[in-house]
Amino acid sequence: MRKIKIIYAAGNSLNAKIQLHRFLDAIKDKPYQIKIAAYINSSPNINIDWSLDSLLSVYDPNQKYLDNDNLNNYIEQIKIFNPDLIISDFEYFTSYVGIQLQVPVWQYSSQILNQSIANKHKINARLYTHFSYLLNNNSVKNQKINNFIQNSNKRMVCSHLGDLPETLELYPEYQWVRPYHQVFTTSAVCQHNVVAAFLSSNKNILNIVKNYSDVVVFSDFIEEKYNNLQFKKIENQKEFYCNLKNCNTFICEGQASFLADAFYNEKIPIVLFNYQDPDCIASSIFSEKFNLCKIINNNEKNIDIKNNIKSSYNSNVNYLHEEIDNFFNLQG
């Protein structure tokens, strides 16, 4: 059987780093030949095939310019690989190339939650009350983003919100997909008061949790010592999920993957925003609307919370690899 050739392009965000790592783990026994494109910001501790940072403008990394010799080289390498499918976690350049080469392009991302939901729901959730500038930016950027999303063959919103019995209604051209996660059982070994998780340096969270006893922090960015905190590597997924499932309180920055981990393990996370990441804002605001998280500020004194939610699964929502299998089975 010929292996299906797939390019997976991780966008320039921390949540993309989590989703890439978990996707690769889920499909390790699948007949896929995977090539990975990613930014430094979204690269887990694995070898990648293409580093996309060279495509960014050194003068304005937030703008996307296509007049770039490195992009021409990237296009030629994609032609040589000749992929059957491109999966983009909100990655502009690879999406553009796939559309130009007429390769099927799927957007698979938590970051398109904001684009997939009607304004009336955003207004109802008060999404724009305090964050309109951060989430809208300028019209040129929005037009480029909308163009590559609308020209993609699939637009999949990766969020636990799709598994709620009553959830947000998406525009017809979008669909929910389930985030990869693990659910652990009760374990005395993993019982702790507070568990925190973050991917970038976050002294704001550390300054809050250092005031509590029995705290475990999962991160790769520890810049100073805290005598009352226990630090663990976040790559140790089984230990992370076991600690999450059995803690009293879980605190994170609001990345969609961590919100999903909490939901499926029946925890209501405390969220201290990463304001540099619009994905954290949108995912957390909508999660709080459904009483699935509690957003706090840097001066919060009490982060104790009662966890009384029940996880659920929508039979109409698939994981990404299930969407891939269904697609290629239909192709014969």
How many Å apart are CA 320 and CA 322, to the nearest integer? Answer: 5
161 in a domain, yes or no? yes
Domain that includes residue 271, residue range: 188-295
Do both 271 and 326 map to the same domain?
no
185: number of CA atoms within 13 Å, CB side?
Answer: 0
> CA geometry: angle at 114 spanning 36 and 289, to 5°?
120
pLDDT of residue 125: 76
pLDDT, residue 141, reads 61
Same domain, 27 and 137: yes
Q: Are 316 and 175 in contact (CB under 8 A)?
A: no
Residue 11's domain is classified under what CATH number?
3.40.50
293-302: per-residue pLDDT in tens?
999 988 777 7
Tell whether 44 and 161 lie within a shared domain: yes
Residue 267, in any domain of the structure? yes
What's the pTM? 0.92
162-199 per-position pLDDT tens digit: 999 887 889 999 999 999 999 999 899 999 999 999 98
Mean pLDDT of 235-240: 91
The secondary structure of residue 267, as a DSSP letter, is: -
pLDDT of 18-49, one tens digit each?
A: 999 999 999 999 999 999 999 988 887 888 99
Secondary structure E strands in 32-186: 32-38, 50-51, 85-89, 105-109, 154-158, 175-177
- Residue 98: its pLDDT value, please? 97
Instruction: With CA atoms as reference, report the closest residue to 197 among 160, 224, 163, 229.
Output: 229
pLDDT score of 42: 87
Q: What confidence tens digit (pLDDT) does each residue in 42-72 have?
A: 887 888 999 999 898 765 666 666 778 899 9
- Tell me, yes or no, whether 54 and 152 share the same domain: yes
Let me know whether 144 and 262 are in one domain.
no
Exposure string of 117-144, with b = 16+ CB inside 10 Å and e = fewer, is beeeebeebebeeebeeeeeeeeeeeee
pLDDT at 33: 96
* Residue 310 counted as domain residue: no
Could you give the number of structural domains in the chain? 2
The mean pLDDT value of the chain amounts to: 88
Q: Is residue 300 part of a domain?
A: no
d(CA 314, CA 210): 38
Residue 142 and residue 17 in one domain: yes
In whole angstroms, give the CA distance from residue 10 to residue 18: 10
User: Among residues of the chain, what percentage have pLDDT more than 70?
Assistant: 91
Q: Give yes or no: residues 159 and 287 share one domain.
A: no
Note whether 99 and 74 are same-domain residues: yes
Tell me, yes or no, whether 49 and 145 share the same domain. yes
224 lies in a domain?
Answer: yes
Whether 200 and 325 share a structural domain = no
In a domain, 33, yes or no: yes
What mean pLDDT comes out for the span 204-220? 91
pLDDT at residue 112, as a whole number:
92
On whether both 146 and 276 belong to a single domain, the answer is no
Give a yes or no: residue 302 inside a domain. no
CATH of the domain at 216: 3.40.50.2000
The answer to whether residue 64 is domain-embedded is: yes
- Do 20 and 79 lie in one domain? The reply is yes
Per-residue pLDDT at 128: 66
Question: What is the per-residue pLDDT across 86-103, written as a single tens digit (0 to 9) for each?
Answer: 999 999 999 999 999 999
pLDDT, mean of residues 314-323: 96
Q: How far apart are CA 245 and CA 223, in angstroms?
A: 27
Quote the percentage of the chain above a pLDDT of 90: 62
- Phi, psi angle pair for 27, to nearest 5°: -110, 15
For 321, residues 6+ apart whose C-beta sits below 8 A from its C-beta are: 23, 26, 27, 30
Greatest alpha-carbon pair distance for the chain in Å reads 59
